[in-house]
Chain A
Amino acid sequence: MTHIHIPDGILPVWLWLSGLFLMALALSISLASLRSMDGKKKIPLLGAVSAVMLVSMSLEILPIAYHINLSVVAGILLGPALGFVAAFITNLILALMGHGGITVVGLNTLLLGSEAVLGHTLFSLMGQRLPVFWRAAVVTVLTLLTTTLLLIGMVSMSHIDVEAMLHGHEEKVPAGSVPAPTVTTFAVVVLSLGTIGWLIEAAITGAVVKFLAQVKPELLRHGLHDLPKSPGSTRSSS
């Protein structure tokens, strides 16, 4: 649910410019942290994970207009720095295809990138307390909850006013009048439909990570992942 499909020119200039600036800053930090390793060796994995994210985004769950992102999978597989880079690449290609505005690439990358970073961090912090499926699923729900709240915060910060959008200035609100609860409506819609989406994404992320742990464990290279001793291991077969 953390992908803004808002067109260009709706959000205030300061907001999307801040998004672009913060995205550039986060990308610089990510690229600087990747200098210590041979980044070129990671390019095929980066390309593959970003491409799978793009394909998964095309699988729309129609009744609730939700599409999965696999950003948590990207964070788990690539790590926080490269996961953020994958989020940027995915959003740039989406914008090139006309999906979402160009000016909101910064905000979208911050949201999707924070899912990758948070997903990786939480997955690492959880250690081996839970089987790999449940660990990935729980991390996905927690991550998507956090980033959806970030999204709602972003929209509420933007103070979208229909009068301002149509006429370029805000209409004076008479004292005592109740403003239209636009952000509340947005939050209710996003949180209610999003919850179903998080559960679907959590189930898919859990299944994908579990499958990778069984079939291609070398992709989950971080020391904290519980690689199964055998395919039928009870610990990872939940």
Chain B
Amino acid sequence: MMDVARIDLWAASGSGPLHRASVLAKVIFLLLVVTAAVVTHNPYPLAAGYVVLLLLVASSRLPWFKVVALSLYSAVFALLYGLSLRGGGQAYALLILKAITPALAMLTLIVSTPYPQIFGLLSTVLPELLSAGLFMTYRTLFILLDMMDNFAMSIRLRGGFSPGSLYKNGSNISKGIAMLLVKAVERASRLYAVMAVRGYHGSMAQAGAGSFRRDDWLPLGTGIMILALVLLWR
């Protein structure tokens, strides 16, 4: 979650072919990859799909190494869950690939698309309160992450963390979270008031599904290729 600021920077500052593709095409690409992960029972085509995604990210001038590292985060939970299944190596491989392949596709979408475009697309299908809540949560998250860093530093400087003292550490962390909540509400209220004064009334400026663009062949072609791999390689 702490990587949200980096993800936002990559999405807003990139200029590769994926950045130029429409958000609609990238969402369709994501759905195709998720469908491939859902229907497959074979880890090999999914592994090939992961490599294809890796090539897509690398060729789109995105920080592929960091994006891949982020996608592997989901493998930890998949492995924990897999332990309860008592399957063999192939079952674990399938489970992990089912976790990391859609995760990489999702990361490909969010590192190449600025969040107002994603929320703009979502606001066409979501009610106004939900899309406004999503937008406000995302904005507040950035404010909170900054505050969290400051809080962690100040609590260390003041000797708030004592190794072995569970009660003291727990109490300080709880107070920190509560203080964070109070400040987040104040900041969010102020931000909302400023937006309201500037004419915000709950709807996104970039609302709409948009239209297809010339560069959409890349995400659409990749998505179709991964789904075809899974369907043909049984």
What residues make up the interface of A, taking CB atoms closer than 8 Å to B?
Answer: 5-10, 13, 27, 31, 34, 39-40, 43-52, 54-59, 65, 70, 73, 85-86, 88-90, 92-93, 95-103, 160, 162, 165-168, 180, 182, 185-186, 189, 200, 203-204, 207-208, 211-212, 215-216, 219
24 cross-chain CB contacts under 8 A = A5-B77, A7-B95, A40-B129, A44-B185, A48-B188, A52-B181, A54-B137, A57-B1, A85-B130, A85-B133, A96-B118, A97-B3, A97-B4, A97-B7, A97-B106, A97-B107, A98-B71, A98-B102, A103-B38, A165-B85, A182-B85, A207-B170, A207-B171, A208-B178
Interface positions of B (Cβ within 8 A of A): 1-4, 7, 30, 34, 37-41, 70-71, 73-74, 77-78, 80-81, 84-88, 90-91, 94-95, 98-99, 102-104, 106-107, 110, 118, 127, 129-130, 132-141, 143-145, 148, 170-171, 173-175, 177-182, 184-185, 187-189, 191-192, 202
User: Do residues B181 and A212 form an inter-chain contact, with CB atoms below 8 A?
Assistant: yes
B137–A46 CB distance below 8 A: yes
- Kindly identify which residue among A48, A93, A166 contacts B90, using a CB–CB cutoff of 8 Å: A166
B91 CB to nearest A CB, Å: 5
Q: Among A9, A40, A93, point to the contact of B138 (Cβ < 8 A).
A: A93
Known: A43-B129, A45-B188. A166 touches B80 (CB 8 A): no
Which residue of chain A has its CB nearest to the CB of B40? A9
Q: Quick check: A51 and B170 within 8 Å, CB to CB?
A: no
- Which residues of the partner chain B approach A59 to less than 8 Å between Cβ atoms? 173
Query: In the complex, what residues of B have CB within 8 A of residue A90's CB?
Result: 137
A51 close to B141 (CB less than 8 A): yes
- Contact assessment for A43 and B174 in the assembled complex, using a CB-CB cutoff below 8 Å: no
Write out the residue numbers on chain B whose beta carbons fall within 8 Å of the beta carbon of A185: 84, 86
Check B174–A208 contact: CB distance below 8 A: yes
Per a CB cutoff under 8 Å, which of A73, A85, A165 touches B129? A85
Query: Of the candidates A9, A13, A48, A85, which one forms a contact with B185 in the assembled complex, judged by CB atoms under 8 Å apart?
Result: A48
Min distance, Cβ A17 to any Cβ of chain B, angstroms: 11
- Chain B hits for A34, CB < 8 A: 129
Contact A48 B184 (CB under 8 A): yes
Tell me whether A5 and B38 are in contact in the complex, defined as CB-CB below 8 angstroms, given that A101-B99, A204-B177 are known contacts.
no
